[in-house]
Amino acid sequence: MSLRYQINLRILISSLCILVLGGSIAIWQARDAVSEEVDSSISLAVQLITFGFSQASKTPFHETDWLPKLNSLNQTRHLSIQLKEPSGQIISFPHKNQQTDTDEKPPQWFINLVTVHYPKVEHPITGSSGEQVTLIIQANPLDEITEVWKESVAFFSSIFLLTLFTFLAVNLAFNKALKSIAVIVDALKIIETGQYRQKLPDFSIQEYDSIAKAINHMTDELDKSRQENRALTQHTLAIQEDERQRLSQELHDELGQSLTAIKVMAVTAERSQTGARTDIKQATDAIITICDHLMTVVRSMMHQLHPLILTELGLKATMEDLLNHWSTRNPDLKLTLACPDEVDNLEQKITIQIFRVAQECLTNIVRHAQASQAAISLKIECLSETGKTLRLQVTDNGQGCAADKIKTGFGLLGMRERINSLGGELVIESQPHQGMNIVATIPLP
């Protein structure tokens, strides 16, 4: 059910309730008004007739002359005044202002609702000839009911016009609002296809304008994230290709030449006839030296591809080996590690990512930070609300960098993606010449 239909339905129900309530009140007030008007007219007529006959002794007059004048008064238009002769003949005096136009007569159902029972009033009087006649007063409130009907028609017409005006005003407002909603929906459909540079226009309605600004901000962030992901993907592919090229070159230069040299020495030792012992001794020594060199090269390549110590000895030993490696190569850099034994029980997918993040942090510290001290802290925190959390913190006292340059490095972006892939969060805090503090939190199952 659409919003327009719901609003119109509620307005219609409210209008019907107002009409029913207003009609009931109008009919109730109409009955009271007609009753009061008729009672007042009867009381006035009785008083005038009584007063008139009390003056008959002073000023003689005939009742057939005086009563028509009384009946012609506007105040007695709701009454039918008649005289009943002693012979039983009824003499009527029609009211000049009485309603006779049947076109203006209210509908019968309205007359039945408004009309109440009015008793016939009979008052005996002595006429000018001394005979007893009977004055008959009968209420005839048709004129008053007609007036009340006209007022009721005007009231209900006003209610109808107000309801119609409300419908028109609401629908005009909804037309404008629905057009804005249609623009927003069409823009969202375009954004859904990946066109994040689609922008919503400004709206005159404040609420829709706030929604449009929020959507535009969201698309800006999505477009920025997509560009960062594209750049990171390209950078990852470039690193992968460089790694493959370097490994290929190293295999060609180191393993290929060394294996060729071993083969030549073996063939030479086999064909040597004079001084065999000396030549064989020299060949075997050279082969041993070359094999040692090959083992060193292979271990270095294996460590770069995947540290076997991580699988064999756990994360703590791997982190200690990593710090020893960088301390040996950079004696001026003081490295400290705080790591509990329980990190060795973490899942393999978590330990490899933590190791890579720590490795990237130390690489950045050595290459860019120009720091003299660096500390790595790894601990498992127990939070009652969310369970356990693994916290990695890397701090140095190097030169740091401005906040707007933190997101520009591929190393930092790669670390953020690694932590986000585990459902964690990476926070980087840095100021120029105040070092850098990197905190990674990862929820544990």
Query: If you classify domain 313-443 with CATH, what class do you get?
Result: alpha beta
Q: What is the mean pLDDT of each run of 10 residues along the chain (445 residues)?
A: 74 80 79 72 65 52 53 56 70 54 68 70 64 69 76 80 81 79 87 83 85 90 81 71 71 72 72 60 77 77 73 89 90 93 88 89 89 93 77 92 68 83 87 89 87
Q: How crowded is the C-beta side of 37, counted as CA atoms within 13 Å?
A: 24
Assign residue 6 a region (left: φ > 0; alpha: ψ between -120 and 50; beta: otherwise): alpha
pLDDT score at 1: 62
The strand order across the sheet containing 132-139 reads 90-92, 79-84, 132-139, 121-126
Q: What is the pLDDT of residue 54?
A: 54
Strands 334-338 and 373-383: parallel
For residue 100, the model assigns a pLDDT of: 44
Q: Where are the domains of the chain?
A: 3-167, 219-305, 313-443
d(CA 392, CA 358): 8
Q: What is the rounded distance in angstroms from the CA atom of residue 279 to the CA atom of residue 294?
A: 22
Strand pairing partners for 80? 138
- Amino acid at the residue 226: R
Which two three-digit tokens encode residue 319?
A: 């982190």
Orientation angle between helical segments 206-250 and 276-305, nearest 10 degrees = 180
Match 């004696």 to its residue by tokens.
331
- pLDDT on residue 131: 66
Distance of CA 339 to the CA centre of its chain: 45
